[in-house]
Amino acid sequence: MTLADVTATRGDVHAWVDAVAELTQPDAVVWCDGSERERRALVERMVHTGTLLPLDPDLRPGSYLARSDPDDVARVESRTFICSSDESDAGPTNNWREPSAMRTELEPVFTGSMRGRTMYVVPFSMGPVGGPLSRVGVQVTDSPYVVVSMHVMTRVGRAVLDLVEAGTPFVPAVHSVGAPLPDGQADVPWPCNPTKYIAHFPETREIWSFGSGYGGNALLGKKCFALRIASVIGRDEGWLAEHMLLVRLTSPQGRRYHVAAAFPSACGKTNLAMLVPTLPGWRVETIGDDIAWLRPGADGSLRAINPEAGFFGVAPGTGPATNPAAIETLSRDTIFTNVALTPDGDVWWEGLTAEAPPRLVDWTGRDWTPDSGRPAAHPNSRFTVSAAQCPTIADGWDDPEGVALDAIVFGGRRATNVPLVAQAQSWEHGVFMGATISSERTAAAEGVVGELRRDPFAMMPFCGYDMADHWAHWLRVGAALDADRRPLVFQVNWFRKDDDGRFLWPGFGENSRVLAWMVEQVDRARGVRTDVGAVGSPVGLLPAPGALNTDGLGLDDATLAQLFDIDPGSWAREADLTEEFFAVFGDRVPAALHDRLAQLRAALER
């Protein structure tokens, strides 16, 4: 059996599963039904094998700790491939392999890779089962940890298999930890393989993942399907799969708004998704924290769903001060991976409390004290938890029809230049904002301090095709929307600093003030309000004097001026860097973005 033979069977789920089993040679094949009984049995098995450690049921009921192999702790972007027929379709920012060559390379590692193990067949839906914006997949895996995590992160069950058996197209996803068990060989708590592949075949909509049991490398519904493959499906079908949070904002008058936002890592994405506003009378509710699928609606609006059913979040930095809603979400029924263990059977990570406990067992299983000189939790340690547990989850967050977006937000971490908030002057300007998202490197260990790290649309590691074509697709989608119902686009920067290195904006719950100004701009654009809310600048529309509510923050006029200062010389240099960045993509960069860059330069010279 070859990988090409397996691919040839993908239209028939039973023939495809049989072909994968013939290739990988598991001892048994189990079709998963997504039931609570199934979950409990798998958890009990993993407790027995040492994969999961039960936490104290009084402190953290229904929760477990997993410790991965130290070799298997994060995404492996260098081993993540886009196997499109045409190399140019993958673009300069993806690792490309020719499809038949990659199948030839994968075949020997997958042959017999599941010997001594059980192959689980996981039919799953991204989005509510049968919803008009949803898509389905079938993952086979030899990891019970993956099955239980897929229970949380997707909709698993017989209803999905019924759709597939009835002819609904599905994304076939093959995963193996790559650790076959010869007769008599004892297993380890976290099997994996030093050799790793995460390979995507856009034309055939396939995913093949080998060697890792961790996160998005193994939970193939997440970044692999919901972004890399789905972005290609969206390009072909006229919609967008994006690395975006979704929230509902409700004003004191009861008016509801829906906002999608894209932020690179370490820029406050999860905190915004679960924001607890400090602005009186306003409410923010969570719809999704990581991925959004956006599709033009029949009414000319842009509708969005969160295709996931759970949160797979980074633990370090999450605490009562930064994200109280997340802390409450994690109070029960959570799988923690690579965090530290307290003596009383609870979990801890850097940022959970102001002071570290005097004694812990770190993520590798070693004793730890504050003097150990190493983190207690891995910097990429994670929690996996049902979205339904979030105290800020919105009513109808999983409505199959999705929500109509009022605003789209892009943000990065910038100590200089970029103002607290700016509104795009047009859809094309908004796409330009998304294409030029950047964050300044903050330490020499990460590169040159102040150097810009580009992450367009926060999609650089996740777009399944050329990024410049992605920008062109955004322009096409926007053109298909009703001009009066098209979301407004904004850029934010919570991280601007003064000359002494202090943050100018308090952030966290106070970010609700910026969201309030945004949706008030939506009201002005739609004629609900007639007051002046914004003034022009070379980089976009900025809040008019008094339009951004800063009451009680103690910000003086000089600080506010710094938050919105636009220095023409610095921005001219930034325009040069943007031109250099666009050059990476050659002539695929849409003319509209070159035009926006020229307009920026002209505005700076006035």
Segment 409-438 mean pLDDT: 96
Q: Note the pLDDT of residue 443.
A: 42
Q: Taking 70 as the threshold, does the pLDDT of residue 444 lie above it?
A: no
Contact between 541 and 535 (Cβ < 8 Å): yes
Tokens at 398, concatenated: 């999983």
Q: Could you give the angle at the alpha carbon of 241 between the alpha carbons of 120 and 173, nearest 5°? A: 20
Alpha-carbon distance of 226 to 243, in angstroms, equals 9
Mean pLDDT of the chain: 95
Mark out the alpha helices in 491-590 (DSSP H runs). 511-525, 557-563, 568-583
**Helix 467-479 and helix 230-237, axial crossing angle in degrees, nearest 10:** 40
Q: Which of 525, 557, 562 is nearest to 541 (CA)?
A: 525
Segment 568-596 mean pLDDT: 97
- Among 83, 192, 224, 267, which one carries the catalytic annotation? 267
- Within 10 angstroms of residue 194's Cβ, the number of other Cβ atoms is 9
Q: Note the pLDDT of residue 451.
A: 73
Q: Which of 505, 504, 487 is nearest to 430 (CA)?
A: 487
pLDDT tens, residue by residue, 478-523: 999 999 999 999 999 999 999 999 999 999 899 999 999 999 999 9
Q: Note the pLDDT of residue 463.
A: 98
What beta strand segments (E) does 11-168 contain? Answer: 28-31, 53-54, 64-66, 80-82, 95-96, 118-126, 135-141, 155-156
pLDDT tens, residue by residue, 307-320: 999 999 999 999 99
Percent of the chain with pLDDT over 90: 94
Residue type, 186: A
Q: Note the pLDDT of residue 525.
A: 96
Contact between 170 and 207 (Cβ < 8 Å): no
Strand partners, 215: none
Q: Max CA-CA distance within the chain?
A: 77
Nearest-Å Rg of the Cα atoms of the chain is 24
Segment 252-268 mean pLDDT: 92
Q: Taking 90 as the threshold, does the pLDDT of residue 272 lie above it?
A: yes
Q: Note the pLDDT of residue 185.
A: 87
Confidence band, pLDDT 50/70/90 cuts, at residue 184: confident
Segment 5-34 mean pLDDT: 97
Tokens at 561, concatenated: 């001026």
Strand partners, 256: 250
Q: Could you give the angle at the alpha carbon of 281 between the alpha carbons of 277 and 285, nearest 5°? A: 50
Segment 163-176 mean pLDDT: 97
Alpha-carbon distance of 271 to 279, in angstroms, equals 16
Contact between 432 and 589 (Cβ < 8 Å): no
| Neighbour order of strands in the sheet with 360-361 | 347-348, 340-341, 360-361, 367-368
Indicate if 224 belongs to the active site. Answer: no
Instruction: Give the three-state DSSP class for 21.
Output: helix
Q: Taking 50 as the threshold, does the pLDDT of residue 545 lie above it?
A: yes
pLDDT tens, residue by residue, 101-153: 999 999 999 999 999 999 999 999 999 999 999 999 999 999 999 999 999 99
Sketch out the chain's domains with CATH numbers.
3-31+75-237 (3.40.449.10), 255-282+401-605 (3.90.228.20)
Instruction: Give the three-state DSSP class for 524.
Output: helix
First and final C-alpha spacing in the chain: 67
Alpha-carbon distance of 91 to 468, in angstroms, equals 8
Strand partners, 360: 368
Contact between 520 and 533 (Cβ < 8 Å): yes
Q: Note the pLDDT of residue 268.
A: 82
Alpha-carbon distance of 242 to 223, in angstroms, equals 10
Least confident interval from 216-230, 336-350, 447-461: 447-461
Q: Note the pLDDT of residue 448.
A: 58
Q: Note the pLDDT of residue 266.
A: 73
Segment 165-189 mean pLDDT: 95
Number of residues that make up the chain: 606
Instruction: Give the three-state DSSP class for 82.
Output: strand
Q: Note the pLDDT of residue 401.
A: 96
Alpha-carbon distance of 135 to 145, in angstroms, equals 23
